[in-house]
Chain A
């Protein structure tokens, strides 16, 4: 007898909770017609960004590839003294079929070149289409860090910045001077 009352009460309470939901805002969205808001720091597709001057930010330092826990980043450093006299990746490849979107590459990147963006729609029918080369990865903007330009703060010379022209740099030393 007692049990029957408990069953009936639970039933009514449960129905009441369901009924209450009728008047709340639904959580489900009609993807893909409706798209959820993803914050800028959401870790989705990986891009390579450019510096404020419009040049590739990646300096091919290999830190992203060594930080990658699934080893899905491969690149080769190259240098073209005629074009811009700075190091860049000859190829830069991410195998997204292996990527786990952990963001370690972004964390390791000393030049803010590699960034994870809130785009996650990467489904493909063939795995080979998930292999992104540099031309697929490189975007034309600066991404999340609009101002940073590695070569303005690094001590090396490039085609448009001589020694001593970087931030917090003195003019090159005149070795032949004996003045104190």
Chain B
């Protein structure tokens, strides 16, 4: 290397490949290496460890596994361990969508179907790069655009989704509420609000009107960085459309006030009546194959299967008699709170199925430290992940999507059959069998002949799923919930009740969310002047454990992406390694230049944590309602590394 060349090095682009776990692993203490064990020994140890931790136990269920597995996992937590401390990685992504939608409408699912977006007039993609993150959903969007719909992209980055937009509104990270409020105010002032709908189906409008009144277009321009005429155009287009779809992804939810962001978007649909009709609705795009289903199955701390509220005595009674148990009459801890309880020492044992929080949580160093503090950790997974490396007992499981039978639920609430195509390796066993064996060792003898038996038990306690037999799921290529009747299919959209003329049928009014702007917690200043946001690339996925296994020609590893202006200002070029530091940690990553970014905005992914651990930089500032961390907004500094010099 010549002395005046920027520091670049040839990086090994082969991602860390994980091989399947084929037999149980145990160890007596954390400083020992694992040794191979029989299933009996491993399960006995796991049972012993969990028995000791009754009252201080938490379950991480798996948003990647089937509905049936999630049903059994939450039943294990509630019946065997007597706790509602059960959650999954939905906490790190879309929990705010569920919380926001259920606060407004009483149900946590997206209100529309993919097909409807092909027949809508206006599509708003807000904080969503669906072209990369949800490519087949985006094909439905493209059909809609080809059918004449206009699409608006609201995103700090000019993404490949924005390339298809009528107009791109490149707002500053964390200014979604000012943008939404300014759109709401403009709609009201232009006389474009749907007064009849507001009066009949919503509550709290006067308060909302007062809330948004200060958010003039010019103030919004100042705060969001988007020109006032562009905001005005979107407001008018959305309000004037016969039907409009508002879609969002993690750009809305992965903030310390994610639920408030979701409420701010829902307000716009209430203001204009763009909900509860064919082609008009709200569509959060879920990030895991079964993150919708995991919540529906009750693998969350505040809901029982069928998204039924734990605080309702009659609901609890139903489950108590079905399961012959007593259900704690209060909410359990969510994933974020469980991690805090580990720190406080009130959560001593965790049963972690198919999750990798040691790499997926914000501020990953802190997450690892907290997991290490546990008295007992059982990890059930298909790989020895970073989280599994911290465990006392590791149980080899099957891959839900290819090695088990069952169902998963997608972003349009469609429950679809998953089927076993491969024989699992070695001694790996199905999640449900493992959980049932553990339950038996802890005094609960559950017998399920197969996944369908679990599903039928779920159907008996969840009215929304009652009509979905395996036979019907096969016949219809999946059925969307709610499906209370075995002889009928419901409309493809939710909340049609809001349009009923009879107030009794219309049901509970949908409240406007009275939410205030609150800028990102991790403020930029002279020391940390750059705003770092995170996201996904097309060919990679989450912490890369799955997507690292194939040879993608598109993969180029982890980079810190900068806009051309910033790259020039820092005097760095593509491929040059720089130090990226936040108030929590520091990593070295090569530079990539993306003209879709704006000055002061940088982008990274979490796909290659073994190469560049981006979550050392992110902040664990959590949404107080949903517990999701602010992955989308950290303050960082970019430093050019000293030029390599050689000493002879």
**A and B pair up:** no
